[in-house]
Structure 1
């Protein structure tokens, strides 16, 4: 028998728009140092299997950041109102009431204390959900803190949208993986060649299903790796006030607050010692601690990177450019990066600035990052040393590779009337299968479960006697556990309608995989697929 599964994506339906109508979306990227406001537009498709043509109509970077206003929530309200006022200037008035607005926060909010982060997001939600303060359309997805994995997936969508993957007749032949290096975290996202055992993120773009591997390593971004190295050095002698720092260039000095004390670091310029500290953070678990296998960092599962091309963005691209570590075709040469790093890291700040394309104030950061990148790519992600498949890029054909475009494409796809549950069993790039649960059938099925006497439904289409709680899409839902893609639902015997399998497998309360989510929903594990 077929059991009913209802996803948030199924319930998040828009009334059908006329093909050819121009639609708009407002995306607020709430980062650690600013909020980036973007207004997008696209033409309504005649079919959801068509490619969306999304245009960025407006961009503005607004300072300060949300997190800097954590202690003045009244000022934060005015800040958010100002954002909506600016956005309204760039969306036609007649379209504003049908234009969705999103504020998606990243590492700047993720690193705050839970209570502070909640206060900020509640304040933002109070403004954006208040129709007297702006004209845009608000939904339950409008305000949220992105997981690092979502950020990685959205960057993957952006890269493949720019690359033309979604308009190709053979999507897998053009799909590119994405490596990101931000200040707080680093992400890797790609379509594996073989089985995917954990960290799956399924999405539909233009009628095709893509099963991605995506993982974000919090505290492994550029800024946080710098802090972790300093903490590691201090722990060798916590009472000292000055230390030699092997990752700093000769003659460079840095100061750092540690438990209320100011610590001084002087560059000893020793790349081998610096790499030793970095390698300690990247070591892999072995035996039963690594499950499922293989593991990349610690006990985090990662399938083989396969034969895909990868775009390496943000700090990956900046460091590769600074040290001229690419070949004539723009490919990253990891061996050259590693050798150049060992030479570069023995120089003084002044020598480094004279020979390489680096600013004096960031010279030591480039040393640490070059060593870190080479080790991360080869030891952790298991790219061959002489791979020619990584392209460090800040832009593609002059267009940004930032994640907000991918987020907008993803949200626009969710708005399609026929968006189904995510087919977990589908192969990457597989054409969308027919969905038996149409909108009208879904409504009737819900009526059936509320009062079976009201409607006649074929006995083989819904499990007899199954009682589902009432659903009110327009109001708040309480008590429904949500997956990372904001889905809720009941277990289904159809593979394409099973709950998203995401995160770590294995026992224990921290497991976020199949059995972890069954435990959250209080379902029997012995019947799980």
Structure 2
């Protein structure tokens, strides 16, 4: 007597279940290997507490760093409202309060679960160097208040300190060459990242020189606060220029030799030079950051400085309260004197100076170089490893698992519901 149609159907489905189940098991075991999940993102924050204002820079980098150094990019920049923290010497509490708006903004950018492990630094430059020289107690009180405010936020605050002039310059050099990729930077697939930030005629993989300074704080005196020049007002450009020249000693070296400062031999300049910080802001105000020749630079500065104060106020009403307007003339003469007479940038060499605020969508200054240096002290996280399979094998495995489940369900339905007469 033959088998019933019900028994035949159930038997066939059981065979399909067994075969497809075995195939699924085999596929699941074939080609499985350990794979690493994409790295997470780490964050870091640096307050650049300058003489005229403070800025907060938020940086990010992959958690499994490349070559021991994080591939750092700028996630956000926030300008603190008000003057630099050194201006709050008589009311230190306000120095701390001034940072709150930018800290609040940072908390909306950095994921909540990563905030407590975000290293945060405050570096102060010329303004606090001068305040410390004048009154170290007041400088300490300002640092105490800004530290107190930052510590009220869920971040890993690692202290506030004053950078030396050499550190400020060195970290600025690291920043510009990192952004120009002359300090080789690779992505996670070991392919060079390309940014369209090279100036015309720039040679890749040749480090660029960094020209930085706060206006009227000459580099040759290494930021000695007692040498800071405070020339205010306009209308006497020759006197302003003469006062600035007194800061420098352009002693002649003798025949066939060129001196920069204090009789020290200086070889002819070569390569590309990036001027930022106070250099950039002063020349940007004067609309001199577009590669103008030295003759135009000189004429523009003299033309600006010979205007009367009322004429300047009327010409530049956008300068809030004219708080910085009186500084542009001495600052411009300082830059011109330093570069032309000190570093010997003549008409031909002047074209190699690039006045820039940013490169590769990142602000140029010491802060990024500071983070690049400090990320070497932040342990790299081991990438998370999981078991993975090739896409084709994975798809086939899923197909046979689904087929097995469908056949089993159908067999159950037939067994329970089919009742042939």
Change (3 A) 1:373 1:35: closer
Query: Is residue 2:336 matched to residue 1:368?
Result: no
Query: Which region of structure 1 is more displaced relative to structure 2, 103-112 or 29-38?
Result: 29-38
Shift of 1:25: 0.7
Q: Provide the rounded CA distance (Å) in 2 between the counterparts of 1:351 and 1:80.
A: 36
Q: CA deviation at 1:353?
A: 8.3
Describe the shift of the 1:409–1:220 C-alpha distance in structure 2 as closer, same or farther (beyond 3 A): farther
CA distance in structure 2 between the partners assigned to 1:406 and 1:25 by the alignment: 13
Map 1:404-443 onto structure 2 (within 5 A): 404-415=367-378
Q: Quote how far apart the aligned CAs of 1:23 are.
A: 0.5
Question: Aligned partners of 1:320, 1:63: CA distance in 2, in Å?
Answer: 22
Structure 1 pair 281–43 and aligned structure 2 pair: CA distance change class (3 A):
same
Q: Bigger radius of gyration, 1 or 2?
A: 2
| Counterpart position of 1:101 | 120
- In structure 2, the partner of 1:384 is 346
2:6: which partner in 1? none
Displacement of 1:61: 2.1
Confirm or deny that 1:331 pairs with 2:291.
yes
String of CA shifts for 1:287-324, please: whole Å, max 9, x gaps.
Answer: 9xxxxx9974458x685473121111244334444555
Within 5 A, what are the aligned runs for 1:228-307? 229=231, 248-249=234-235, 269=236, 271-284=237-250, 296-298=260-262, 304=267, 306-307=269-270
- Listed one character per residue, the Cα deviations across residues 260-307 of structure 1 (whole Å, up to 9, x for unaligned) are xxxxxxxxx4x44443322222124689xxxxx9974458x6854731
Counterpart selection for 2:170 from 139, 153, 167: 153
Distance 1:384 1:80, change over 3 A: closer
Structure 2 CA distance for partners of 1:309 and 1:353, relative to 1, 3 Å: farther
Corresponding position of 2:129: 110
Q: For 1:157, what is the secondary structure of its paired residue?
A: helix
Counterpart pick for 1:182 among 206, 214, 219: 214
Secondary structure of the 1:39 match is strand
Whether the aligned pair in 2 keeps the contact of 1:332 and 1:391 (CA below 8 Å) is no
Checking the alignment, whether the CA contact within 8 Å between 1:312 and 1:391 is kept in structure 2 is yes
Q: Offset at 1:382?
A: 2.7
CA distance 1:356–1:164, shift in 2 (3 Å):
farther
Higher relative contact order (CA 8 A, sep 6+): 2
Deviations 1:194-241 (A, max 9, x none): xxxxxxxxxxxxxxxxxxxxx8434599xx53x2x46xxxxxxxxxxx
Tell me the distance in 2 between the aligned counterparts of 1:347 and 1:68.
Answer: 29
Kindly indicate whether the alpha-carbon contact (under 8 Å) linking 1:100 and 1:138 is maintained by their aligned counterparts in 2.
yes
Which runs of 5 or more residues in structure 1 are unaligned? Answer: 1-17, 189-214, 231-246, 250-268, 288-292, 418-529
Deviations 1:1-23 (A, max 9, x none): xxxxxxxxxxxxxxxxx971211
Aligned length: 321
TM-score normalised per structure 2 = 0.61
TM-score by length of 1: 0.50
Q: Which residue of 1 aligns with 2:179?
A: 162
How many angstroms apart in 2 are the aligned matches of 1:334 and 1:397? 27
Cα distance in 2 for residues equivalent to 1:171 and 1:122: 46
d(CA) in 1 for partners of 2:43, 2:245 = 46
Shift of 1:174: 3.5
Greater helix percent: which structure?
Answer: 2
Q: Matches of 2:282 and 2:222 in 1, distance apart?
A: 20
* Separation of aligned partners in 2, 1:352 and 1:64: 22
After TM superposition, give the deviation of residue 389 of structure 1 in Å: 0.9
Secondary structure of 2:120's counterpart equals strand
Asked if 1 retains the 8 angstrom alpha-carbon contact of 2:53 and 2:83, the reply is yes
Contact 2:250–2:341 (CA<8 Å) still a contact in 1? Answer: no
Aligned CA-pair RMSD: 4.3
- CA 97–180 in structure 1, closer or farther in 2 if over 3 Å, else same: same
Match of residue 401, structure 1, among 364, 369, 387: 364
Cα separation, 1, equivalents of 2:101 and 2:281: 33
The reply on whether 1:217 has 2:223 as its aligned counterpart is yes
Q: What displacement does 1:156 show?
A: 2.2
2:74 counterpart SS class: strand
Q: Is the 8 A contact 2:79 2:102 kept in 1?
A: no
Cα deviation, residue 44, structure 1: 2.4
Aligned counterpart for 1:121 among listed residues 143, 146, 163: 143
- Distance apart, 1:390 and its partner CA: 0.6
Residue 393 of structure 1, CA deviation: 2.0
Alignment deviations for residues 471-498 of structure 1 (CA, whole Å, 9 cap, x no partner): xxxxxxxxxxxxxxxxxxxxxxxxxxxx
In structure 1, C-alpha distance between the alignment counterparts of 2:105 and 2:125, rounded to whole Å: 21
